[in-house]
Amino acid sequence: MAIKDDALLALPKNPAIDWLLGSVLRNLAIREQSHFLFELLAGKNPHALEQWNAWIAEFRSVLRNPAIAAQKAEEELSTSGPERISDFMSEVFAVLNLSRAAYTDFEAVLARGNRAAVDFMALNEGQRVRIEVKHLHEPQDIIRTAVTQRWKSCNAKNPSRFNFWLGVRHHHHGVLSEVAIARLNNAIDSLPDIAANEYHVTLDGGIDVVLTRTTTVASNSGLAISTGFGSEDFEFDLPELQNLYIKAFRVVSDSLSKFFGRQADADAINVIAMQWDTPNFMHDEGTPQTVQRAIEQAFATVGFQLKVLIFAHEPHHDSRFCAQ
């Protein structure tokens, strides 16, 4: 509890974070749930804390109705798990990216009743814009997400048994088969019973993974995943392009009712902004641009005029907002 206590005491000293997420973090603390923002606020990484304050301060500065944005965050996150914070931050990042691309006069929109609503309104060269934001999460069938999910499950069920740090080393950037995921899960489950501190496991498809168990005095348990890369990681990845297209196309299709039909606005520009959690450390910068154009063209053939924005990185924070 010491970290959460220190974090809550530090919230008033970080007015940007406190404005948007203070209520959410206090609710998480009451429910005894964790989020890495608690560690940042408690002083673990001052640079990252500065980034978060700057992002949120800049976000607030471009809004015409900042009070509504704070209310939107509380309504969407106050009863949700800590993982939903990253989804809301996708909205913050989308606004920052669009703001830096000449969009102005942003207004947060609250959902009311059963009526679907976009996330933001804005202006672009004097024309009204409706903006929907989505978060394209990492695939669940890659090593990083599979290991993280299993490790969290093991710690939740038996924290005393998994009272150690787990290090994971691998060099695989594709998806895993069901057989490979089952083998990886079994390997993690069995770590407390293995005498050696380092365990080499070969998954289906010849994928080599090294699991290292370390007991430390400073912290009871934790997880660290490292991935190497080679010359093949600089080559064009067609499966990555196809997977992103399928995922993004599905998300856009599910959002069409917010733009067309009864809620159509012929005078407004319709924008869908998506934050892509790329599964690979390295990726072709042209991949999201290719997918954007392909989706826009696909819907344009049936008369749906959409502008698609896919961004794969958090925006650089503006140092002018660091002290706010």
The pLDDT tens digits of the residues spanning 195-251 come to 888 899 999 888 899 999 887 645 567 788 777 665 455 455 677 888 889 999 999
CA atoms within 13 A on the CB side of 65: 14
Determine the pLDDT at residue 234. Answer: 47
| Residue at 28 is within a domain | no
Total number of domains constituting the chain: 1
| Residue at 292 is within a domain | no
Helix 66-77 vs helix 15-30: crossing angle, to nearest 10: 20
CA dihedral (237, 293, 246, 86) positive or negative? positive
Q: In terms of DSSP H, where are the helices of 159-237?
A: 178-190
Determine the pLDDT at residue 283. Answer: 66
Which 3 state secondary structure label does DSSP give 66?
helix
206: tokens are 């010849």
Q: Residue 71 corresponds to which amino acid?
A: Q
| Residue at 211 is within a domain | yes
- Alpha-carbon distance of 258 to 260, in angstroms, equals 6
Which 3 state secondary structure label does DSSP give 129?
strand
Determine the pLDDT at residue 231. Answer: 47
Pair 78, 27: CB distance under 8 Å? yes
- Taking alpha carbons only, the member of 319, 308, 317, 324 closest to residue 92 is 317
- Alpha-carbon distance of 301 to 294, in angstroms, equals 11
- Alpha-carbon distance of 137 to 135, in angstroms, equals 6
pTM, to two decimals:
0.81
Determine the pLDDT at residue 1. Answer: 61
Q: For 70-95, how does the pLDDT look when each residue is reduced to its tens digit (9 = 90+)?
A: 999 999 998 888 989 999 999 999 99
| Residue at 16 is within a domain | no
- Alpha-carbon distance of 142 to 275, in angstroms, equals 18
| Residue at 168 is within a domain | yes
| Residue at 215 is within a domain | yes
**Residue ranges for the chain with pLDDT beneath 70:** 1, 141, 216-220, 228-237, 279-283, 323-324
Range of the domain at 225: 143-233
CA dihedral (128, 269, 249, 258) in degrees, to 10, reads 50
| Residue at 8 is within a domain | no
CA dihedral (172, 177, 183, 184) in degrees, to 10, reads 40
| Residue at 258 is within a domain | no
